[in-house]
Amino acid sequence: MKVYVVDNGGQWTHREWRVLKYLKVETKIVPNTTPFDELKDLDGLVLSGGAPSVACDSNRMGNNGDYLDMATFPILGICAGMQFMSQHFGSTLGPANVPEFGEVRLKVSDHSDLFAGLPDEFVVWGSHNDEVKTVPEGFRLTASSPSCKVEGIACVDRPLYGVQFHPEVENSEHGTEIFQNFLNIIKDRK
Amino acid sequence: MTGLFDEQGFIDEAVEMVRESIPAPGKAIIACSGGVDSMVTATLASRAIGDRLLAIYVDSGLMRKGETEEVEAMMKRMGINYRVVRAADEYFDALKGIEDPEGKRKAIGEKFIRVFERQAREFGATYLLQGTIAPDWIESGDGVRDTIKSHHNVGGLPKDMNMTLVEPLRDLYKDEVRQVARKLGVEASERQPFPGPALAIRCLGEVTPEKVEIVREACFIVEDEIMKAVGAKEAVRPWQYFAVLLPSKSVGVQGDRRAYGYTVAVRAVDSVDGMTATFSKLPLEILNRISVRITDEMKSQVNRVVYDITSKPPATIEWE
């Protein structure tokens, strides 16, 4: 199975690569300027977080839009990756009412995909200044936190998923399982 | 998530990588601080190129108490070619008047390279091995990534450096390096992380020999008390633990006399990979012993001790 990580400049992009490597997936970090054509044979893609404020610096998000429009394989957007995904499909972003750095108390409302088999509430880690203000049309909300409503989303009719927090860091509980669930979604489609 | 890393596979690949990167009769020096990253790199490189390797330890005047002697003894026991360079004056000169943390890191990074270049010339080496690991280049920033701090071995490298870099540990984090170190039997496997710019970045603001002396002693007390407590099973050993000298002074009272001295911040964190960390929930009794010992033994300089209760993010582990 081939799942690459698109580098949007995150501090933890390489950690996403490490988790995938540990899960025995063929993986590589690629710049977000990589043409979709070079990625079209993948089985899945992770859009990393990054320093850009997506709302203002969307030019620094490279070809993320192409990947979202052209891919038929599953995509998981993390932090800025999810924010870009949401904006791309019509929702608004803005500075977070309460930014979250470090511990976040996650409340899962939908266990059907990324959160399959996980508890209703657990601790994850976030690091974000901006947030997604509304769930984009055609998506459902999968998780929230006391400070941030949109912590997790999933597209209704395409395999697109997003999380505001960082399942790839050590301090996030069930982080590896979230990645494994993403890989299971890929496997089930094959 | 540990245990999924294949140390032996990595060791074989890394030795091969060094062998291919430094073909005979090419020679290399390795920047060796005595920490686990550089000692693992030295061990791998020594397997790959044997006597064509020279390890250089620089006593920058910024190292911890007794560290130079400790590292020299370790290198001797390893049986590799090594040299200890004493260059404290050069480092303090380079740091004079610099308050900005990035300025300090870059001045130190450049100084290291100038020292290494001189040593390389003498040894006839054209390659520089470094124990650079993933957080070093991630946090140093690049085209797409913000600079959180310029690690001396990446963001602090001068542009006109004339040696070829070889960095076999670039994709590893500290927990993985330790696994490799244990597999290789490297003595430094459990040493706590210590940054390249050393005590210079634990001394906020301008660095002077006097301030480094204060923070060196405070760091020693923190390490000593924590290791004693760990030995007595009063606490689990934190991932990293040290003291930071703050640049501001505050009022105190010592033996009925007014005191006006520095504040020392104690930092102890738990982490796996250094990319996220939580402050250690040390028992208050241990923090009390640290505080009393610092303010008693260092009464002429320090009259206040605080404990840092911030995680990473939003803080970083070191203060600069």
Tokens of B89: 């004056």
Is residue A184 pLDDT above 90, yes or no?
A: yes
A contact test, residue of B145, B154, B309, B311 with most A CBs within 10 A: B145
Domains of chain B: 7-190 (3.40.50.620), 208-307 (3.30.300.10)
SS3 of B74, please? helix
Q: Say if B208 is an interface residue toward chain A (CB within 8 Å).
A: no
**Cβ-nearest to A125 among B144, B171, B276:** B276
Dihedrals φ, ψ of A77, to 5°? -100, 130
Q: Which of B136, B138, B144, B145 to mutate to test the interface with A (most CBs of A within 10 A)?
A: B144
End-to-end CA distance of chain B: 29
Q: What is the pLDDT of residues A135-159, one digit of tens each?
A: 999 999 999 999 999 999 999 999 9
Bridge partners of A124, per DSSP, are A104
pLDDT band at A57 (very low <50, low <70, confident <90, very high): confident
Q: Is A168 tagged catalytic?
A: yes
Q: What is the ipTM of this complex?
A: 0.93
The one-letter amino acid at B243: A
**Which tokens in the block code for residue B21?**
């990167």
The tens place of each residue's pLDDT in chain B, 320 residues long, gives 545 899 999 999 999 999 999 999 999 999 999 999 999 999 999 999 999 999 999 999 999 999 999 999 999 999 999 999 999 999 999 999 999 999 999 999 999 999 999 999 999 999 999 999 999 999 999 888 999 999 989 988 888 888 999 999 999 999 999 999 999 999 999 999 999 999 999 999 999 999 999 999 999 999 999 999 999 999 999 999 999 999 999 999 999 999 999 999 999 999 999 999 999 999 999 999 999 999 999 999 999 999 999 999 999 999 99
The tokens for B204 are 């906020």
Q: Which residues make Cβ contacts (< 8 Å) with residue B271, sequence separation at least 6?
A: A170, B174, B239, B240, B277, B278, B312, B317
Question: What is residue B80's DSSP assignment?
Answer: -
Cα-based angle B111, B274, B279 (whole degrees, multiple of 5): 115
Q: What is the DSSP letter of B8?
A: H
H-helix segments, chain B: 7-21, 36-49, 67-78, 88-95, 101-123, 134-140, 174-184, 209-231, 284-297
- Chain A residues with beta carbon closer than 8 angstroms to that of B272: 170
pLDDT value of position B159:
87
Q: Tell me how long chain A is.
A: 190
Q: Which domains does chain A have, with CATH numbers?
A: 3-189 (3.40.50.880)
Residue among B226, B216, B239 at smallest CA distance from B311: B239
Q: Does A117 touch chain B (CB under 8 A)?
A: no
Determine contact: B272 vs chain A, CB below 8 A. Answer: yes
Residue B315 to chain A, least CA–CA distance (Å): 9
A88 CA to centre of own chain: 14
Using a CB–CB cutoff of 8 Å, tell me whether B5 touches chain A: yes
Q: Find all residues with CB under 8 Å of A98, minimum gap 6, and list them.
A: A147, A148
Alpha-carbon gap: B276 to the closest alpha carbon of chain A (Å): 7
**pLDDT given at position B1:** 52
Neighbours of A90 (CB within 10 A): 11
User: Which of the following is catalytic: A16, A131, A151, A168?
Assistant: A168
- Please judge whether B145 and A103 are an interchain contact, meaning their C-beta atoms are less than 8 angstroms apart: no
Phi, psi of A4 (to 5 degrees): -100, 165
What distance in Å separates the CA atoms of residue B98 and residue B91, rounded to the nearest whole number?
Answer: 12
Pairing of the two strands A93-108 and A121-132 = antiparallel
Kind plus residue range of the DSSP H or E element containing A88: helix A80-88
**Alpha-carbon gap, residue B182 to B190, rounded angstroms:** 9
Collapsing DSSP to helix, strand or coil, A167 comes out as coil
Question: Looking at the complex, does the CB of residue A57 fall below 8 Å from at least one CB of chain B?
Answer: no
Nearest partner of B283 among B247, B307, B301, judged by Cα:
B307
Q: At what angle do helices B88-95 and B101-123 cross, to 10 degrees?
A: 150
Q: Which of A51, A102, A169 sits opposite B145 (nearest CB)?
A: A51
pLDDT in tens, B239-272: 999 999 999 999 999 999 999 999 999 999 999 9
CA distance A92 to chain B (A): 24
Instruction: Answer whether residue A55 shows pLDDT above 80.
Output: no
Distance from the B230 Cα atom to the nearest Cα atom in chain A, whole angstroms: 23
